[in-house]
Amino acid sequence: MTQNFLSSKAIPNRERLIMALDVPSIADAKALVEELGDAVIFYKVGMELFMAGDYFAFIEWLKQHGKKVFVDLKFFDVPATVGRAIRALSGRGVDLATIHGNDAVMAAAAREKGQLKVLAVTALTSLDRGDLDDLGFQCDVKELVLSRARRALEIGCDGVVSSGLEVAMLREYLNDRLLVITPGIRPVDNREEDDQKRVVSVAQAFQNGADYIVVGRPIRDAEHRREKAEQIQAQIAEQFA
């Protein structure tokens, strides 16, 4: 029987669903948030909305509406620049933020994070073995993920972003010390046009040890979006019953 690594962290169940606001405009994002209402509490605000303008005003709007915010901009630059960016972000009431890069980048972010929780990206869920070969990584995907997660923990990051396929391994070797946020959640079978390759279901992600899941298009593209979000919330509640 596969070992169950269900999260023991004191996180309200309904906050474990993070909705990815991957839409082209702030107006679209606000309309979606209002449509979902209390079905979603936590939102990921990424690069697409950053380029739409009024990004930080929108973050303030989310906070005013009682939402939690995950800034997913994957900061990657020289360490001093990343450190200053994280310091600036920490004063905006953001809950989670992603960084990319080597030990020096992670260390700079950890020093400046304040109350903000910093997450290191391990390997994007859009990458498979062939992609890593093209990028020059000779190690196995799981070895890469575990190595980056270990370094992030040692350096002072709060957690990692990791495919649900690798979360159980992280829990086996690193116990419950890291926050693990799992994107690439697919409540139904993948469609051919889907660019995510290393995906898992809601139940599998949490049984493998995820603390949070990030869901985007299964809710965004649903005919009844609030209903779909509530269905996923019910699946989460069932795991922690």
Smallest CA-to-CA distance from 127 within 184, 197, 194, 78 is with 197
Neighbours of 106 (CB within 10 A): 24
Coil/strand/helix, residue 145: helix
DSSP letters for 99-118: E-S-HHHHHHHHHH-TTSEE
Q: Six-digit token pair at 116?
A: 């903000």
Which region, left, alpha or beta, applies to residue 183 given φ > 0 means left and ψ of -120 to 50 means alpha?
beta
The first and second tokens of residue 219, run together, are 């809710």
Catalytic residue among 30, 74, 117, 142: 74
With beta carbons less than 8 A apart as the criterion, state whether 120 and 161 touch: yes
- How many Å apart are CA 240 and CA 198, to the nearest integer? 24
Q: Mark whether 9 is an active-site residue.
A: no
CA distances from 200 to 125, 146, 170 (A): 10, 18, 16
Residue type, 186: R
Q: Which single residue is written with the structure tokens 């939402």?
A: 67
Q: Which long-range contacts (CB under 8 A, 24 or more apart) does 35-38 make?
A: 35/225, 35/226, 36/219, 36/225, 36/226, 36/229, 37/226
- Catalytic residue numbers read 74
